[in-house]
Amino acid sequence: MLFIILISTVCFLVFLHVLFNCHEKARLVRSIPGPDNIFLIGNALEFLATPVEIFGLTRKAANKWKIIYRFWAFNLAAVNVFTPEHVEKIISTTKFNSKSILYSFMRPWLQDGLLLSDGAKWQQRRKILTPTFHFNILQRFCVIIEENSRRMVEMLNNSAGEKVDVVPLMSEFTLNSICETAMGTRFSEEMADKGESYKAAIHSIGKGLVQRVTRIMLFSDLIFNLSAFGREQIKSIQIVQNFTKKVIKDRKANIEQYGAENLDDMDNNEYNMNNKRKRTAMLDLLIQAQKVNLIDDQGIQEEVDTFMFEGHDTTACGLMYCLMLLANHKDIQDKIFEELFTIFGNSDISASYDDLSKMRYLECCIKESLRLYPPVPFISRQLTESTDLGGYKIPSDVFCHIHIYDLHRREELFPDPLKFDPDRFLPENCIGRHPYAYIPFSAGPRNCIGQKFAMMEMKSAISAILRRFEIYPVTRPWDLRIAADLVLRSTEPIYVIFEKRNTLSSK
């Protein structure tokens, strides 16, 4: 009996070996450099680690293999690229527009929103949503964001001279901003309380997704949903979607009472800019599209979930790392203040859209911060047909992970890559740079639809802070412990000290 069991086990293992390894796809993938494989399971054990260790593992792999490397687990394979030439080949056209299977794990939450959808649905949704970020509407949004920046500064006045964790501070600012602009819903006290639960639930979802992505046994919906991670995710998604349903319900009620074009017109004078009160929210466009049967209630929910996440969490990450870097580089901070003084003088007026466009050095600083700490450190596509990368033939049905974090730290693209040097983004220093060397908002047809909005929001927040405070470091770049997550998240608070400026003068 024991002999039969032994023979059966050997036969089963041989069968799995043939199934996983004895075909053209496996041969091609194994020809790509990468970590040593273990019989049958490939590199699966390497990912049974903490999120911080997983983030470090991918950095070490990039440093070792420089151009391209692969991971292999059972019958799944992924190639990892981080050169501008390879990145361009994958994301510059619609040929490889489909997201990899990793994104499917977000589907219970974001479903067929713009981040996850493909084909005709993606094209239609993108067409509906693009007008939200038109120049004229961004000008209108600027007034609301500036008001939120002022509120944030008033809060900081109460903490002057103390160390402040900028992570929750920036998260609250960006969540308020995306709700009041793209969603057309101002936070009530009730909504503010729900917002805290929403942010905590987003973090919980991210942690669960990392566990699922790195443990192949959790790829199964059945197994994952029965696990502790799956049960927690179901609760978190319910919290998130209850919040976004409330946002949708409130906006529809507001439109019913005041019309689609007016944002809470009862007290709109405080947001008045050049007597232009009209402000088209993204949610308004979705509601209008529903009236002509271009989208249904489910579709609206999908896009609101997508934009609430992408519009607040990623921008908050960009802001908190930028503030940390500026606190650690007083000379650069002072140059920004000189630029701001040139624009505003001693005035304490809010910045207009035109004022923000004049903040060219601040924009260089933000871009350099996004180079060092891209809020989305990697993206992943499904190769729907074979292609050549780095002299290797990559078969179809392989994942292609594009590591933006490592791309941005290539020394041949950015000399002394760990140095915070905003001058890299002065116009004269950008001449000749590969167009896919710097992609904090992705690039190609599936680039971030809201990147101009995000830059405007970051300029507004940082300029409002630096006009009124000098900031000093507590957290240093080498203190950061970054974990694999939906966004580039630090496991520890990021502290900055805000000291009130004695004068608005540059002298």
Cβ atoms of 496 and 161 closer than 8 Å: no
With the C-alpha atoms ordered 415, 420, 426, 430, is the resulting torsion angle positive or negative?
Answer: positive
The one-letter code for the residue type at 359 is M
| Rounded CA separation 69/81 (Å) | 7
Q: Kind of pairing, strands 398-403 and 378-383?
A: antiparallel
In sequence order, the β-bridge partners of residue 164 are 496
Burial (0-12, 13-18, 19+ Cβ within 10 Å), 197: middle
Q: Are 380 and 329 spatial neighbours (Cβ–Cβ below 8 Å)?
A: no
Would you say 42 and 19 are in contact if contact means Cβ atoms under 8 Å apart?
no
Confirm whether residue 430 is marked as ligand binding. Answer: no
Question: How far does Cα 371 stand from its chain's mean position?
Answer: 13
In the chain, what is the straight-line distance between the N-terminal and C-terminal CA atoms, in Å? 90
Residue carrying the six token digits 């490592």: 406
Yes or no: say if 364 and 426 are a contact pair by the CB < 8 Å rule. yes
**DSSP state at residue 381:** E
Alpha carbon of 424 to those of 274, 332, 441: distances in Å? 36, 13, 18
Please identify which residue in the block is written with the tokens 């959790």: 218
Query: In angstroms, rounded to a whole number, what is the distance separating the alpha carbons of residues 96 and 379?
Result: 12
Q: Tell me phi and psi for residue 505, to 5 degrees.
A: -70, 150
Q: Do residues 29 and 398 lie in contact, with contact meaning Cβ atoms separated by under 8 Å?
A: yes
Binding residues for heme: 448
Annotation: binding site: 448
